[in-house]
Amino acid sequence: SGSFCRKFKLMTKIKKSIELFKEAKLHMPGGVNSPVRAFKNIDGNPIFFKKAKGAYLFDADNNKYIDYIGSWGPMIMGHSHPKIINAISKQLELGTSYGAPTSIESETAKLIKQCVPSIEKIRMVNSGTEATMSAIRLARGYTKRDKIIKFDGCYHGHVDSLLIKAGSGVSTFGLPDSPGIPNELAKKTLSCEFNNKDEFLKVFNKVKNDLAAVIVEPVAGNMGFIPGDKSFLKLLRKKTSENKSLLIFDEVMSGFRVSLGGAQELYKIKPDLTTLGKVIGGGLPVGAFGGKKKIMDFLAPNGPVYQAGTLSGNPLAMAAGSMLIKLLIKTNPYKGLEDKATDLLQGMKDVFDSNDIPFSVNQLGGMFGFFFSEALPKNFKDVVKTNDKHFKNFLNQCINNGIYFAPSKFEAGFISTKHTKTEISNTITITKNIINKGI
Ligand code: PMP
């Protein structure tokens, strides 16, 4: 059949990736170091890469792909940006880690504070997970309360307290929660429907006396791409303030992605704490959390809440991150990114519309999403209902034809300044060819 032929063609095309995956599975659980990379959701074989430049990835078989993942966010100015490579190279010659302070940490902190004014003080860590884990410990220590409210489908890293109804890979594999998290701890986290004010109020009123924090992705990118409703986010701000609970915006993904000041700038809402990652490391492993001075000074060594890291503020990561932030400040590319994402999605939507395939789209700055559904999903439940068969078949055909979209309907899309009209129109043409053959 046609689908068998296509599968065979793909297997020949990615022969080396298939071999490398076999080898990797001997050494690492599932052959990967992060689950979503395994392509299980689309019954595919992960592509193994060896090079990336601008908007393109090159795999082990020398196939070329237009990349709409961008390392899940950081590559906002494209892969292997010469200025970032140069910044890393310069630092490389001076040493890779000292386990001691450097001036580049303050420089990076100042750049972030300049863009995100709700951050008065910041601490660097090594991943988004570490940032959210530390932020909720700080919130609990500062408020002397234990409970956390989060939202279904929001992913905040694989932190014990936050891996409750998390999106992203957890949803990709149909695991609502993970074994290994003590019930006693899980009970302290309550999850409500995203963008649902009534449900939030109900839960909030039940637990408010012991509520340390509400944590949310103001623009969610782990149940597909779903921006929060402004009135919903404003309600979270109002209720947490009244209750002296902290509002944590997890902007690991949206920070420096949807605008220079993150989602909080677009919504004009100031959280108490913000978590960051991805873009601020320029492609190297970084996370950070920051916020009100009074709260941040509750951290060791100033305060009693302990948090530390051997490689935190690593000079290579700071060199890459600060250079990328400087480039973003200089060029402010967000409007251009959003315009390009709009062109891409509208072009794709026209193709699906004319073939009577329900398709909905959304974008903000350098982030976007598409769903195989009539109406745009507003929450996790809506995303679950979108068409799996269309998603899986379309995604596999995209890979077969040199377009690399996130291989799960629970992930967002990312565009870079290096995606030009050429990449956009090629993507639309390829979409047309795929649909003409049937998905
Ligand atoms: N928070 C959000 C909103 C994220 O999107 C992610 C990762 N996708 C994390 C936290 C965790 O970051 P990391 O993978 O760097 O631990």
Taking only the tens place, the pLDDT of each residue in 111-146 is: 999 999 999 999 999 999 999 999 999 999 999 999
Q: Is 157 in the pocket of ligand 1 (CB under 6 A)?
A: yes
Per-residue confidence (pLDDT) for residue 171, from 0 to 100: 60
Within 10 A of 432 (CB to CB), how many other CB atoms are there?
17
Q: Under a CB-based contact definition with an 8 Å cutoff, are residues 281 and 266 in contact? A: no
Per-residue confidence (pLDDT) for residue 166, from 0 to 100: 77
Mean of all residue pLDDT scores within the chain: 95
Nearest CA to ligand 1 atom 7: 157
Average pLDDT over residues 321-334: 98
Residue type, 171: S
Average pLDDT over residues 192-221: 97
Q: Is 251 in the pocket of ligand 1 (CB under 6 A)?
A: no
Question: Could you check whether the bond before residue 74 is cis, i.e. omega within 30 degrees of 0?
Answer: no
Residue 7: pLDDT band with limits 50, 70, 90 = confident
Query: Which structure tokens are listed for 30?
Result: 């599932």
Residue 1 has pLDDT above 60, yes or no: no
Distance of CA 46 to the CA centre of its chain: 19
Q: Is 155 in the pocket of ligand 1 (CB under 6 A)?
A: yes
Q: Is 198 marked active-site?
A: no
Average pLDDT over residues 164-184: 72
| 254 vs 220: CA distance, rounded Å | 8
Q: Is 419 in the pocket of ligand 1 (CB under 6 A)?
A: no
Average pLDDT over residues 28-54: 93
Catalytic residue among 150, 278, 340, 409: 278
Query: Which structure tokens are listed for 366?
Result: 């350098």
Catalytic residue among 56, 142, 155, 404: 155
Residue 201: pLDDT band with limits 50, 70, 90 = very high
Nearest CA to ligand 1 atom 1: 156
Percent of the chain with pLDDT over 90: 90
Q: How many CA atoms does the CB half-sphere of 176 hold within 13 Å? A: 7
User: What's the CA-to-centroid distance between 333 and ligand 1, angstroms?
Assistant: 23
Per-residue confidence (pLDDT) for residue 3, from 0 to 100: 73
Average pLDDT over residues 330-359: 98
CA distances from 209 to 49, 112, 165, 229, 387 (A): 50, 33, 23, 26, 41
CA distances from 381 to 156, 167, 377 (A): 18, 11, 8
Q: Is 156 in the pocket of ligand 1 (CB under 6 A)?
A: yes
User: What's the CA-to-centroid distance between 167 and ligand 1, angstroms?
Assistant: 11
pTM (predicted TM-score): 0.97
H, E, C per residue of the chain: CHHHHHHHHHHHHCHHHHHHHHHHHHHCHHHCCCHHHHCHHHCCCCCCEEEEEECEEEECCCCEEEECCHHHCCCCCCECCHHHHHHHHHHHCCCCCCCCCCHHHHHHHHHHHHHCCCCCEEEEECCHHHHHHHHHHHHHHHHCCCEEEEECCCCCCCCHHHCECCCHHHHHCCCCECCCCCHHHHCCEEEECCCCHHHHHHHHHHHHHHEEEEEECCEECCCCCEECCHHHHHHHHHHHHHHCCEEEEECCCCECCCECCHHHHHHCCCCCEEEEEHHHHCCCCCEEEEECHHHHCCECCCCCECCCCCCCCCHHHHHHHHHHHHHHHHHCCHHHHHHHHHHHHHHHHHHHHHCCCCCEEEEECCEEEEECCCCCCCCHHHHHHCCHHHHHHHHHHHHHCCEECCCCCCCCEECCCCCCHHHHHHHHHHHHHHHHHCC
Query: Which structure tokens are listed for 350?
Result: 């026209």
Residue 175 has pLDDT above 50, yes or no: no
Q: Which residues pair with 287 in a beta bridge?
A: 125, 277
Residue 295 has pLDDT above 60, yes or no: yes
Q: How many CA atoms does the CB half-sphere of 372 hold within 13 Å? A: 19
Average pLDDT over residues 15-29: 97
Q: Is 278 marked active-site?
A: yes
- For the stretch 391-405, pLDDT in tens is 999 999 999 999 999
| 59 vs 52: CA distance, rounded Å | 9
Higher pLDDT, 182 or 346: 346
| 149 vs 165: CA distance, rounded Å | 11
Which range (150-154, 168-172, 248-252, 388-392) has the least confidence? 168-172
Q: Is 221 in the pocket of ligand 1 (CB under 6 A)?
A: yes
Q: Under a CB-based contact definition with an 8 Å cutoff, are residues 55 and 419 in contact? A: yes
Distance of CA 370 to the CA centre of its chain: 15
User: What's the CA-to-centroid distance between 157 and ligand 1, angstroms?
Assistant: 5
Q: Is 98 marked active-site?
A: no
Higher pLDDT, 314 or 167: 314
User: What's the CA-to-centroid distance between 258 and ligand 1, angstroms?
Assistant: 15
Residue 176 has pLDDT above 60, yes or no: no
| 385 vs 42: CA distance, rounded Å | 16
Q: How many CA atoms does the CB half-sphere of 363 hold within 13 Å? A: 21
Q: Is 132 in the pocket of ligand 1 (CB under 6 A)?
A: yes
